[in-house]
């Protein structure tokens, strides 16, 4: 097997890495680039813990090959905050205690950001459907949905 | 109340790292020169291993070693122990067959571990495992408890007759029979508490390491109780003394019970790391999680309730078949007995109760504690029984409950099934539940639902739970092979900041916040000056870990005790420096003051003095400010509550929609309301999942049909409503913080509320019972069957 050289933009920075042909983007992010925020919860695209945004589209990074990132833009949880300044979604998750064990949280935040990028004013139902691809065993989703709606409101108000 | 003390909605300090993707979970950890393990697992539910050939696998690219059950047996290490011994009615000890790390002769469930391949990469290990040739002689298998106990059923363990682990009883059989002799009504139910698969979102991981230069072992593992793993694995399996074995459970992504237990993979990677002189890492994939994480529930129960002419409960008799799976997991044997049958009184005054439990081996994944552990099973059966009793006696279901509640003035209340409830006000909690759920407005909501062509039902459940596990003397008398205290160490640093070392383990509960609130409140130091350290046996002296909603009631009490010792010692120091007698020193809001004077020292000044003891009388006053405490609870704690669910059912499709859910719980003192709400939300949704969506299924050959998220339905955001959560706290619990526990209440109270609501909705169609999970198919079939009659 020969490793493939991949050049991609990851969280706004030009990045190159080597990966095997069969290696998932999730494994490349975690094992090659040390970006361990995305988690493997199932490896089959059912739980959303590995969510990243690829060229503006929400994907399960366990279902994308690392080599497919060539020439594309990848956004992960590690790029969401600006230095010490949390993204409004992160801040509202903190304010509402919308996380417990934290393992699904990066995926929820990435998915919620993708939702709000598409729809800045979602109803409760739209938030619930928008996040239905992400599993959480701890929170019962209650505080997550409230935090996302609260974040949407504060982002609309430009706060 | 301060803004960060006990009772404040403090934002969680652990969240910064989780929100930014900086959490440090076991799979995020790698060691230099690390190898990767893959476990070859049985594809059969039951089969004899005729032969096993590893030659081709061992010669595969990147393979470092292949180990089999024979290697394990030859090395002389022990099997996985069970931590609780139950005795049968006849006094004989339970059957306790060997539970090897890798099997050598016979596999007993799909997923049973057969061999371990270790290679340079995970893929190489996985590929090589496929080259191991195992010649299996398939044997007939059994997965259902009611079949397993029949004559002629396949034997999971050849030496265990009728697959019976134990046949246990509790309660006064004669008094119970007498109660039935006087009954005006006898109500009977048969309920199945469906097998569920825990599904913490972080799969299990174990990373073992060995330092040949010192003889020190290290294990990183996804555990709720690293010290328990060190004790079980070190003392019973691998024979490594504690001082040479460090177990770390860093950030852990949810447990729900499934990460209490000592699993084979933990011992395998630690054992292999020594053999190879290299770190060995094993990461479960989700498929393995489904077929190796201990499952929960799987009880079949027949229960009968005797009632007099006024609707008073006279006696209860209960017979349960409990599935143990193929082997005894760490606490499996205690779940249907001491964590379940001892709560059969519920919140009712039933004077006579008799329970028998038969625990059964089957060719399934081992069954052990999952969120609630025994308490959900009892509550579900009782609350279905009470609703059935209301129907049969014609007494309104709320009224029937009111007539039978234990009253607050009866506290402490000795139940006929061993436990003594210390405090509680069940009528008040019940009325608060009805009010919060707008019970009186149900008719209007029902009419509105019916105007849309759907059915609406309301279900009530009340529950009691025994948390704060457990007084060691009681647990020991009942067969526990461990004490169930907790430890804490409060280390005050010279400038007054504090590190708390706790034997509890946080895997979502928010201990780093809650425990710091307790320390801050007690010592009067700023919340930000307190750090909480947990999950590392090299840092924390000892710990029994986190399960059974015990962390705050037991671990928190240990913290309380250690803080009291700190205050005592600091008082001595302040008295010395302020030249007063100890008795005259008052400690308040972080200041030590000589009573009646303005002579005072701040906590930080006393801390500094403790470490700069220039004029201490060293015969009577030691330098330093660092105190240990162990706390062994005096009694269990008893949260209780009333959960009310409203569902809408589409009679055409059988789809059940949870329209409204209200949980009112008495959990005693609340340290952080925001965290408490989240715990209740999570538990309620876990319970709704069990009631409507989640059901583990095996086929007739013992194959696990629900082995992925495509086949096993987890609750998702779009399945759930917002949940109304309130507390009706009754103080006086038997621990210094007067806390009761909250982690499991949701999972205990919600399933019967949901099913009672579904049955209520379907009542007009003639349906009197619906099994869990009440999937659209199950509900639709129940409707069709009722209509056919």
Per residue in B454-491, pLDDT (tens digit) is 999 999 999 999 999 999 999 999 999 999 999 999 99
- Which of B10, B16, B19, B551 is the best substitution to test chain A (most A C-beta atoms within 10 A)? B19
- Chain A residues whose beta carbon lies within 8 Å of the beta carbon of residue B508: 100-102, 138
**Nearest chain B Cα distance for residue A96, angstroms:** 8
Distance CA(B79)–CA(B65), nearest Å, equals 21
**Partner residue opposite B285 with nearest CB, options A22, A43, A93:** A43
pLDDT recorded at residue A2: 79
The confidence band for B134, taking pLDDT boundaries of 50, 70 and 90, is: very high
Instruction: Say if the Cβ atoms of B681 and A143 lie within 8 Å.
Output: yes
Q: What is the pLDDT averaged over residues B368-390?
A: 98
Tokens representing B228 are 């328990």
Instruction: Say if the Cβ atoms of B20 and A44 lie within 8 Å.
Output: no
- Chain A residues whose beta carbon lies within 8 Å of the beta carbon of residue B709: 42, 44, 46-47, 135
Tokens representing B4 are 């960060």
The burial of B467, by beta-carbon neighbours within 10 Å (0-12 exposed, 13-18 middle, 19 or more buried), is given as buried
pLDDT digits (tens, 9 = 90+) for B404-431: 999 999 999 999 999 999 999 999 999 9
3-state secondary structure of B246: strand
ipTM > 0.95 (yes/no):
yes
- Which of B201, B551, B657, B671 is the best substitution to test chain A (most A C-beta atoms within 10 A)? B201
pLDDT digits (tens, 9 = 90+) for B649-694: 999 999 999 999 999 999 999 999 999 999 999 999 999 999 999 9
**Partner residue opposite A101 with nearest CB, options B19, B202, B677:** B202
Instruction: Say if the Cβ atoms of A135 and B675 lie within 8 Å.
Output: no
pLDDT recorded at residue A1: 59
- Chain B residues whose beta carbon lies within 8 Å of the beta carbon of residue A97: 11-12, 15, 510, 674-675, 677-678
| Beta-carbon contacts of residue B35 (< 8 Å; ≥ 6 apart) | B64, B118, B119, B120, B276, B278, B279, B280, B281
Instruction: Say if the Cβ atoms of B20 and A81 lie within 8 Å.
Output: yes
CA atoms A129, A135, A139, A140: torsion sign: positive
Distance set, CA B117 to CA B35, B100, B210, B281, B581 (Å): 10, 17, 18, 11, 68
pLDDT digits (tens, 9 = 90+) for B695-745: 999 999 999 999 999 999 999 999 999 999 999 999 999 999 999 999 999
Using the predicted structure, report yes or no on whether residue B401 has a pLDDT greater than 90. Answer: yes
Using the predicted structure, report yes or no on whether residue A159 has a pLDDT greater than 70. Answer: no
Secondary structure string (H, E, C) spanning B384-401: HHHHHHHHHHCCCHHHHH
Using the predicted structure, report yes or no on whether residue B503 has a pLDDT greater than 90. Answer: yes
A145 shares contact with chain B (CB less than 8 Å):
yes
- Chain B residues whose beta carbon lies within 8 Å of the beta carbon of residue A39: 25, 27, 201-202, 253
Using the predicted structure, report yes or no on whether residue B1 has a pLDDT greater than 90. Answer: no
pLDDT digits (tens, 9 = 90+) for B262-285: 999 999 999 999 999 999 999 999
Q: How many CA atoms lie within 13 A of B52 on its CB side?
A: 24
Cα angle at B666 between B693 and B560, to 5 degrees?
115
The confidence band for B609, taking pLDDT boundaries of 50, 70 and 90, is: very high
Spell out where B417-576 has E strands.
420-421, 455-464, 486-492, 498-502, 530-533
Q: What is the pLDDT averaged over residues B117-141?
A: 98
Contacting A residues, span 15-54, partner chain B, CB-CB under 8 Å:
22, 30, 35-44, 46-47, 49
Tokens representing B174 are 């004669």
Distance set, CA B772 to CA B648, B667, B757 (Å): 17, 27, 13
Q: Pick the residue from chain A with its C-alpha nearest to B681.
A: A140
Q: What is the pLDDT averaged over residues B570-580?
A: 97
Distance CA(B68)–CA(B114), nearest Å, equals 6
- Chain A residues whose beta carbon lies within 8 Å of the beta carbon of residue B693: none
Distance set, CA B278 to CA B34, B273, B348, B400 (Å): 6, 5, 58, 65
Distance CA(A54)–CA(A10), nearest Å, equals 9
What's the pTM? 0.98
Domain B485-631 has CATH 3.30.365.10: yes
pLDDT recorded at residue A158: 79
The confidence band for B789, taking pLDDT boundaries of 50, 70 and 90, is: confident
Instruction: Say if the Cβ atoms of B286 and A47 lie within 8 Å.
Output: yes
- Chain B residues whose beta carbon lies within 8 Å of the beta carbon of residue A122: none
Domain span(s) for CATH 3.10.20.30 in chain A: 4-76
**Partner residue opposite A46 with nearest CB, options B12, B507, B709:** B709
Domain span(s) for CATH 3.30.365.10 in chain B: 299-469+635-788, 485-631
Q: What is the dihedral of CA B764, B769, B772, B777, to 10 degrees?
A: -50
Instruction: Say if the Cβ atoms of A137 and B285 lie within 8 Å.
Output: no
Q: What is the pLDDT averaged over residues B499-514?
A: 98
Instruction: Say if the Cβ atoms of B11 and A38 lie within 8 Å.
Output: no
Domain B299-469+635-788 has CATH 3.90.100.10: no
Instruction: Say if the Cβ atoms of B20 and A49 lie within 8 Å.
Output: no
CATH superfamily of A88-156: [2Fe-2S]-binding domain (1.10.150.120)
Instruction: Say if the Cβ atoms of B15 and A102 lie within 8 Å.
Output: yes
Can you name the residues that pair with B282 across neighbouring β-strands? B206
Instruction: Say if the Cβ atoms of A137 and B714 lie within 8 Å.
Output: yes
- Chain B residues whose beta carbon lies within 8 Å of the beta carbon of residue A75: none
3-state secondary structure of B432: helix
pLDDT recorded at residue B688: 98
**Nearest chain B Cα distance for residue A61, angstroms:** 15
Q: Pick the residue from chain B with its C-alpha nearest to A80.
A: B20
Hey, which CATH number is domain B31-139+201-254+259-292, 3.40.50.1220, 3.40.50.300, 3.90.1170.50, 3.30.450.40? 3.90.1170.50
Q: What is the mean pLDDT of chain B?
A: 97
CATH, domain range A4-76: 3.10.20.30
Place of tokens 């509960």: B509
Residues B242-274: b if buried by 16+ CB within 10 A, e if exposed? eeebbbbbbbbbbbbbbbbbbbbbbbbbbbbbb
Please give the interface size between A and B, counted as residue pairs whose CB atoms are below 8 Å apart.
183
Residues B14-45: b if buried by 16+ CB within 10 A, e if exposed? bbeebbbbbbebbbbbebeeebbbbbbbbebb
Contacting A residues, span 50-109, partner chain B, CB-CB under 8 Å:
76-78, 80-81, 86, 90, 93-106, 109
Using the predicted structure, report yes or no on whether residue A157 has a pLDDT greater than 90. Answer: no
Instruction: Say if the Cβ atoms of B21 and A38 lie within 8 Å.
Output: yes
Distance CA(B243)–CA(B261), nearest Å, equals 21
The confidence band for B640, taking pLDDT boundaries of 50, 70 and 90, is: very high
Using the predicted structure, report yes or no on whether residue B46 has a pLDDT greater than 70. Answer: yes
Instruction: Say if the Cβ atoms of B722 and A142 lie within 8 Å.
Output: yes
**Nearest chain A Cα distance for residue B61, angstroms:** 12
**Partner residue opposite B681 with nearest CB, options A40, A93, A139:** A139
Q: Which helix (H) or strand (E) holds B758?
A: helix B745-762
Distance CA(B780)–CA(B438), nearest Å, equals 29
Distance set, CA B174 to CA B177, B304, B315, B354 (Å): 5, 15, 11, 9
Instruction: Say if the Cβ atoms of A103 and B27 lie within 8 Å.
Output: no
Neighbours of A129 (CB within 10 A): 15
């Amino acid at each position: 097997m020969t490793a493939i050289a991949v050049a991609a933009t990851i969280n706004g920075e030009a990045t190159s890495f080597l990966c095997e042909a069969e290696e998932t983007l999730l494994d490349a992010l975690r094992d090659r680039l040390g970006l361990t925020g995305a988690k493997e919860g199932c490896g089959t695209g059912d739980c959303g813990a590995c969510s990243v945004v690829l060229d503006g589209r929400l994907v399960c990074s366990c279902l994308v090959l690392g080599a497919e990132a060539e020439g594309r833009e990848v956004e992960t949880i590690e790029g969401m905050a600006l230095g010490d300044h949390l993204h409004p979604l992160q801040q509202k998750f903190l304010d509402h205690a919308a996380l417990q064990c934290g393992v699904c949280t990066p995926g929820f935040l990435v998915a919620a950001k993708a939702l709000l990028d598409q729809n800045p004013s979602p109803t409760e139902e739209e938030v619930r459907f928008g996040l239905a691809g992400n599993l959480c065993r701890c929170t019962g989703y209650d505080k997550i949905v409230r935090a996302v709606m609260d974040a949407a409101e504060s982002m609309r108000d430009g706060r | 109340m301060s803004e960060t003390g006990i009772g404040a909605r403090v934002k969680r300090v652990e969240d910064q790292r989780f929100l930014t993707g900086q959490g440090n979970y076991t799979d995020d950890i790698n060691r230099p020169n690390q190898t990767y393990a893959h476990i070859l697992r049985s594809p059969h539910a039951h089969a004899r291993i005729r032969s096993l050939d590893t030659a081709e696998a061992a010669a595969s690219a990147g393979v470092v070693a292949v180990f089999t059950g024979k290697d394990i047996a030859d090395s002389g290490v022990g099997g996985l122990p069970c931590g609780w011994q139950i005795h049968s009615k006849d006094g004989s000890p339970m059957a306790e067959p060997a539970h090897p790390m890798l099997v050598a002769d016979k596999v007993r469930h799909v997923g049973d571990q057969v061999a371990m391949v270790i290679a340079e990469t995970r893929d190489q290990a996985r590929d090589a495992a496929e080259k191991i040739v195992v010649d299996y002689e398939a044997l007939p298998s059994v997965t259902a408890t009611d079949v397993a106990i029949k004559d002629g059923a396949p034997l999971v363990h050849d030496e265990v007759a009728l697959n019976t682990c134990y046949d246990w009883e509790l309660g006064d059989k004669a008094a119970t029979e007498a109660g039935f002799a006087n009954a005006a009504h006898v109500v009977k139910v048969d309920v199945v508490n469906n097998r569920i698969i825990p599904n913490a979102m972080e799969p299990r991981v174990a990373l073992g390491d060995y330092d040949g230069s010192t003889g020190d072992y290290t294990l990183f593992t996804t555990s709720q109780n690293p010290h328990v793993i060190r004790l079980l694995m070190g003392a019973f399996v691998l024979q490594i003394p504690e001082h040479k074995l460090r177990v770390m459970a860093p950030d852990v992504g949810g447990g729900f019970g499934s990460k209490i237990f000592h699993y084979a993979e933990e011992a395998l990677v630690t054992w292999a790391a020594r053999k190879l002189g290299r770190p060995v890492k094993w990461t479960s994939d989700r498929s393995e999680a489904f077929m190796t994480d201990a499952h929960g529930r799987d009880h079949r129960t027949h229960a009968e309730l005797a009632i007099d002419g006024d609707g008073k409960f006279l006696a209860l008799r209960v017979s349960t078949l409990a599935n143990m799976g193929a082997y005894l997991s760490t606490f499996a044997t205690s779940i249907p007995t001491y964590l379940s049958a001892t709560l059969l009184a519920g919140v009712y005054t039933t004077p006579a109760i008799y329970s028998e439990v038969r625990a059964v081996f089957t060719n399934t994944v081992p069954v052990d504690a999952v969120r609630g552990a025994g308490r959900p099973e009892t509550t579900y059966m009782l609350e279905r029984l009470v609703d059935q009793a209301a129907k049969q006696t014609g007494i309104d279901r709320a009224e029937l409950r009111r007539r039978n509640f234990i009253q607050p003035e009866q506290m402490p209340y000795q139940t006929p099934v061993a436990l003594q409830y210390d405090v509680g006000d069940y009528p008040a909690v019940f009325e608060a539940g009805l009010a919060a759920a707008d019970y009186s407005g149900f008719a209007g909501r029902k009419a509105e639902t019916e105007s849309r062509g759907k059915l609406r039902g309301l279900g009530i459940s009340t529950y009691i739970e025994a948390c704060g596990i457990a007084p060691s003397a009681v647990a020991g008398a009942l067969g526990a092979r461990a004490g169930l205290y907790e430890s804490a160490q409060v280390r005050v640093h010279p400038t007054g900041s504090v590190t708390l070392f706790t034997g509890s383990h946080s895997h979502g509960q928010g201990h780093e916040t809650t425990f710091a609130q307790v320390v801050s409140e007690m010592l009067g130091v700023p919340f930000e000056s307190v750090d909480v350290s947990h999950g590392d046996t090299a840092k924390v002296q000892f710990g029994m870990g986190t399960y059974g909603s015990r962390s705050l009631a037991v671990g928190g009490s240990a913290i309380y005790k250690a803080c009291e010792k700190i205050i005592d010692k600091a008082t001595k120091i302040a008295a010395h420096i302020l030249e007063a007698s100890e008795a005259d020193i008052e400690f308040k809001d972080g200041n030590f003051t000589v009573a009646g004077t303005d002579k005072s020292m701040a906590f930080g000044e006393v801390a500094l003095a403790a470490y700069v003891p220039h004029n201490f009388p060293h015969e009577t006053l030691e330098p330093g400010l660092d105190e240990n405490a162990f706390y062994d609870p005096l009694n269990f704690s008893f949260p209780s509550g009333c959960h009310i669910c409203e569902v809408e059912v589409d009679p055409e499709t059988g789809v059940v929609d949870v329209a409204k859910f209200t949980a009112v719980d008495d959990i005693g003192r609340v340290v952080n309301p925001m965290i408490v709400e989240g715990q209740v939300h999570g538990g309620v949704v876990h319970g709704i999942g069990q009631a409507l969506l989640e059901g583990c299924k095996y086929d007739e050959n013992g194959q696990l049909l629900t082995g992925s998220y495509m086949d096993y339905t987890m609750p998702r955001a779009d399945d759930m409503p917002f949940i109304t959560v309130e507390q009706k706290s009754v103080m006086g619990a038997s621990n210094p913080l007067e806390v009761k526990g909250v982690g499991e209440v949701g999972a205990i109270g919600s399933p019967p509320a949901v099913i009672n609501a579904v049955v209520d909705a379907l009542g007009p169609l003639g349906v009197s019972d619906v099994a869990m999970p009440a999937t659209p198919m199950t509900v639709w079939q129940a409707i069709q069957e009722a209509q056919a009659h």
